[in-house]
Amino acid sequence: MAHAHTALKVNWDERFKLPQGLRKWLITLLAIGVILIGIGFVQSILGGHAHAVEQAHAHHAAPWLSRLSANLLITAMYLLGISVLSVFFLAVGYAANAGWYVMLQRIPQTFSHFLPIGALLLIGVTLGFSGVLYEWTHTDVVAKDEILQHKSGYLNLPFFIARLVIILGGWYLFWRGFLRNWENLDATGDIRYFHNLRRLAGGFIVFFALSWSVASWDWLMSTSPHWFSTMFAVYNFANLWITTLCLITFVAAILKLNGYLSGVSDSHIHDLGKFVFAFSIFWTYIFYGQFMLIWYANIPEETFWFYERIRAHVNPQYVPIFYLTIVLNFLFPLLGLMSASIKRNKVWLVIVTSVLLFTHWLDTFMVVMPSVAGPAGGLGLMEAGFFLTGISAFLLFAARRLEKAPALMPQHHPYLEESLHHSYEPM
């Protein structure tokens, strides 16, 4: 294809091939992650005897099993969240009639391919370890607990499974619809497929808004079923949304540094940096709003959740992590990305997003681990291994999918010219 009036020399037949050096790095990280999981697992079994009786009684599982289950849920939610929010990223672009992101769309499209795998992983974890993750699944516990009895009309296993199937099935069907129209638009350039994408985007955004809230309550919040928070679904969205933006930015910067994405300019990279900066502030606003409202109201049914995470005499291992996430998820991107010009520095963006990918993983960790494992949990070799294994396996999968793409540059998108001419010069 020939496109005039653009300063970029675009290679429309550009194909991706994972550089050997990056492949070795990812495989090495994956291997290290698996080894750390193994060492951490053995340590958890051998080191958990002091609390074994107490924890087994309180959580219906041995401490090592509670910790393993928590890690599996964190990893499943983290990776599934990235894949479905990549679809959301594109859907928002279609609904807003945006054009700037078109040259970058292969990246979130590739991430979205993990959605079926992530869905199966989450189903396996939530159902296979339901007795460990969710105390409301135990009839003997519910029978002795008035609060759980009042919630039993919603928190019961058959209804939980029904919601799980509806949510994941809906996400999958919408993704299949997007995928079919992406491929047809790329192949034919028929504008009808673009209009189909816009209609799908409107439906998906509505379904996603409702289903994400229910998913957040079911899969994460119900690990602490006595807790009440009207802001948790938004908080969970803010956390995994900024995670998704960070991974899109990270991959875009890496590809540019390796000579790919010839149609992507510094202005596109700058806009990704702005998204990471802006939604880091948004995450802080939601984090503060949830914490301050609960702290100020001082209602026992709400405050105990934070009490377990910020009181050193209860769970000392979680206190430094709680404050570390505030500093690194807010102050680090605030100061590190405040300058307009630095948002174009691809090496710096790789560094910032790498840190944020881990610290927002810590955010999900702080939701799940204290509720599921309690004093038996913590941040150690097993947790580091799960993070490294999850993110490196996801990136290897995404790289493989990107290698199979017909071209890195979209071929027939109606806003191709607008994206090519997208320009912003910082003051």
Residues of the chain above pLDDT 70, percent: 94
Which of 248, 241, 231, 245 lies closest to 287 in space, CA to CA? 231
Q: Smallest Cα–Cα separation from 107: which of 278, 270, 260?
A: 260
The number of angstroms, rounded, from the C-alpha of 72 to the middle of its chain's C-alpha atoms is: 14
Confidence band of 2 (pLDDT split at 50, 70, 90): very low
Q: Note the pLDDT tens digit of each residue in 3-45.
A: 434 456 887 788 899 999 999 999 999 999 999 999 999 998 8
Token pair of 160 as six digits: 């939980």
Q: Which two tokens stand for residue 81?
A: 């969240």
DSSP string, 100-161: TTGGGTHHHHHHHTTHHHHHHHHHHHHHHTHHHH-GGG-HHHHHT-HHHHHHTTTSSHHHHH
pLDDT for residue 56: 43
Predicted confidence band of residue 426 (pLDDT cuts 50, 70, 90): low
- The DSSP code sequence of 167-225 is HHHHHHHHHHHHHHHHHHHHHH--HHHHHHHHHHHHHHHHHHHHHHHHHIIIIIGGGST
Q: 121 pLDDT exceeds 50? A: yes
317-to-97, 226, 311, 348 alpha-carbon distances in Å: 47, 22, 10, 31
Sign of the CA dihedral with 105 first, then 109, 112, and 114 last = negative
Mean pLDDT of 103-128: 96
pTM over 0.75: yes
Quickly tell me which residue has 């991974």 as its tokens. 247
Q: Which residue, 208, 348, 213, is CA-closest to 277?
A: 348
Compute the distance between CA of residue 128 and CA of residue 122 in angstroms, rounded to an integer.
9
Going by C-beta distance under 8 Å and a sequence separation of 6 or more, which residues neighbour residue 214? 163, 167
Q: Is 90 exceeded by the pLDDT of residue 423?
A: no
In this prediction, residues 388-396 reach a mean pLDDT of: 97
Higher pLDDT, 314 or 25: 25
Amino acid at site 348: W
Distance CA 5, CA 360 (A): 41
Question: Given this model, what pLDDT does residue 422 score?
Answer: 84
Q: What pLDDT is stored for residue 427 in this prediction?
A: 59
* Per-residue pLDDT reduced to its tens digit, 209-224: 999 999 999 999 999 9
Mean pLDDT computed over 50-72: 71
The pair of structure tokens assigned to 213 is 């809230």
Q: Bigger pLDDT: 46 or 240?
A: 240
State the sign of the Cα–Cα–Cα–Cα dihedral 80, 85, 86, 87: positive
